Amino acid sequence: MNKQIQDIEQAERDVGQLSRDLFMAHVLQELAISLTSVSDQEQLIVDGPASAAMLLDAPQAAMLLLSADGCALEAAKSFDDRQVPGPGLWVPTGRGLIGSLAANNQQVLASDARADPRFDPEVDVIGNQLITSLAGVALIVKDQLVGALIVANRQPPFTGDDLRWLASLAAIIAAVYERSCLVEQLRGEQARLLDTQEELRRKLARDLHDGVTQRIAAAQMEIDYIRRVMRHDPSQLEREIDRLENLLTKAMKMLRTALFDLRPLILEAEGLAAALHRFVQEHSNERGPALRLHIIDSLPTIRGTAGGALFSIIQEAVNNAQKHAGAKEVTISLSEANNQLVIGVRDDGRGFNPQEVAAGYAMGSSFGMRNMRELVDAIGGTLTVWSELGRGTSITITVPWANLNSHGA
């Protein structure tokens, strides 16, 4: 009889546990649906801990992110169960109960936080209150720690089941966080694309204004002068027509060069080497440094996305040497080494301080260098810059052939 009673009581407990699990699963599903609509990181930092507090009926919650240097977990705000924001948190990794989440990328459950040997009253604080109980889970994206999700100060204390549900929610939040990072990255790429387009427009406008437009204006003035010559001194007519023809020829060459620089058709038809030979020819008669081109005879044909990116990189490097370095000579070389394409662009100009340019790149300026690095990164290569004041500049690009082939070379 006692055995039957025990079995009935166990069955009732099992049914009760199953009912609680079904209820929690339903709540988790609703929270997941709500969270998956979030694409902004700032909003996720609010909605994530609010969802955790709601799921586990916790008075306080926070979503902390790993600092850029990896030395601390930090949150701009904490939240209570009514989503009212409270003070932020800053916890060195490995310190206290919260910091231990970053140290082992695992989970923390403390029903009596202050009795736990890991408790540190200086950092285990949330909402201006010392933590009395805590459940915390590391946020992991692609096997890398990105932060932690914690709930605190509930009575009765958190249980192993609570930690299990918090871990399920943390996995959802980590996925949403990863997506929000991709969205931010995409927005940054879109902004850089707009910057690139605007810079190209400005460059084309400058080139047309400084070259073609001025030549055409001079040709118009020459036509007016020819009209006067026809009336007063026809013997000078042939000489003036020759001058007009010379002006128009130069204007056409400048226009052809500008169009070639935008997108050389020969690049798709005959490859990078042919495009560079034409590039050197188009710019050979311009005022500026002499261009030298050295390409090994065995170089395979490079077309497609990789060819376009490499042409743009070389073009940018040469333009920098022409406009900023005061160089007398620029040498472009293409060779092979260790199953890699090796490209060099060297000039004998005034040089510069690479650290200053790198700082400008980090601050969002130094457009040309930023553009070159992003193009190299896009095709899986590396870019190395050497320069010294008074000794010129050397830019080296190396790209494995396997990466070039994957980009349509």
> What's CA 89's distance to the chain center, in Å?
28
pTM: 0.56
Packed helices 160-207 and 367-378: angle between N→C axes, nearest 10 degrees: 120
Residues 258, 211 contacting (CB under 8 angstroms): yes
Do 174 and 315 have their domain in common?
Answer: no
- The list of the chain residues with pLDDT below 70 reads 1-19, 21, 23, 79-84, 104-105, 190-212, 256-263, 285-287, 357-367, 407-409
Whether residue 182 is found in the same domain as residue 322: no
Same domain, 181 and 273: no
Residue 209 lies in a domain: no
| Same domain, residue pair 26 and 161 | yes
pLDDT of residue 345: 94
Omega into 264 within 30° of 0, i.e. cis?
Answer: no
Query: Would 227 be classed as within a structural domain?
Result: no
Angle of the 354-362 helix axis to the 367-378 helix axis, nearest 10: 80
Given 161, 187, 213, which residue is the final one in a domain?
A: 187
The pLDDT of residue 139 is 92
Cα 367 to Cα 195: distance, rounded to the nearest angstrom: 9
How many domains are contained in the chain?
2
Summarize pLDDT for 103-134 with one digit per residue, the tens: 766 899 999 999 999 999 999 998 888 999 99
SS3 of 68-132: CCCCEEEECCEEECCCCEECCEEEECCCHHHHHHHHHCCEEEECCHHHCCCCCCCCCEECCEECC
Q: What are phi and psi of 122, to 5 degrees?
A: -80, -25
Residue 296 domain flag: yes
Asked whether residue 55 falls in the same domain as residue 159, the answer is yes
How far apart are alpha carbons 376 and 372 in whole angstroms?
Answer: 6
Residue among 270, 320, 277 at smallest CA distance from 295: 277
- β-pairing, 144-152 with 329-337? unpaired
Q: Which long-range contacts (CB under 8 A, 24 or more apart) does 196-205 make?
A: 196/371, 199/367, 199/371, 200/262, 204/258, 204/262
CA dist 128 to 73, 94, 124, 160, Å? Answer: 17, 21, 10, 26
Pairing type for strands 290-295 and 329-337 reads parallel
Q: Which of 160, 187, 214 is the last residue of a domain?
A: 187
Residue 310 shares a structural domain with residue 182: no
Report the Cα 235 to chain-centroid distance in Å: 66
Amino acid present at 203 = K
Q: CA-CA distance, 225 to 227, in Å (whole number)? A: 5
Contact by Cβ (8 Å): 195, 367? yes
Other residues' Cβ atoms within 10 Å of the Cβ of residue 109:
20
On whether both 26 and 122 belong to a single domain, the answer is yes
Last residue of a domain, one of 187, 217, 232: 187
**Contact yes or no for 56/154 (Cβ under 8 A):** yes
338 lies in some domain: yes
Asked whether residue 245 is assigned to any structural domain, the reply reads no
Indicate if 303 and 177 belong to the same structural domain.
Answer: no
At 173-188, the pLDDT tens digits run: 999 899 888 888 877 7
CATH of the domain at 107: 3.30.450.40
d(C-alpha 113, C-alpha 134), whole Å: 7
Whether residue 141 is found in the same domain as residue 45: yes
Q: Is residue 262 part of a domain?
A: no
Question: Within a domain: residue 205?
Answer: no
DSSP three-state, residue 254:
helix
Task: Indicate the helix (H) or strand (E) that contains 16.
Answer: helix 2-35
* Domain-embedded: residue 323: yes
Residue type, 378: A
- Boundaries of domain holding 332: 267-409
Q: What is the pLDDT of residue 217?
A: 78
Residue 341 belongs to domain with CATH number: 3.30.565.10
Instruction: Examine the domain organization and report whether 151 and 292 are in the same domain.
Output: no
Whether residue 35 sits in one domain with residue 135: yes
Q: Clarify whether residues 278 and 153 are in a common domain.
A: no
For residue 97, give every residue at least 6 positions away whose Cβ sits within 8 Å of its Cβ, in sequence order, or none.
108, 110, 113, 116, 118, 119, 120, 124, 131, 134, 136
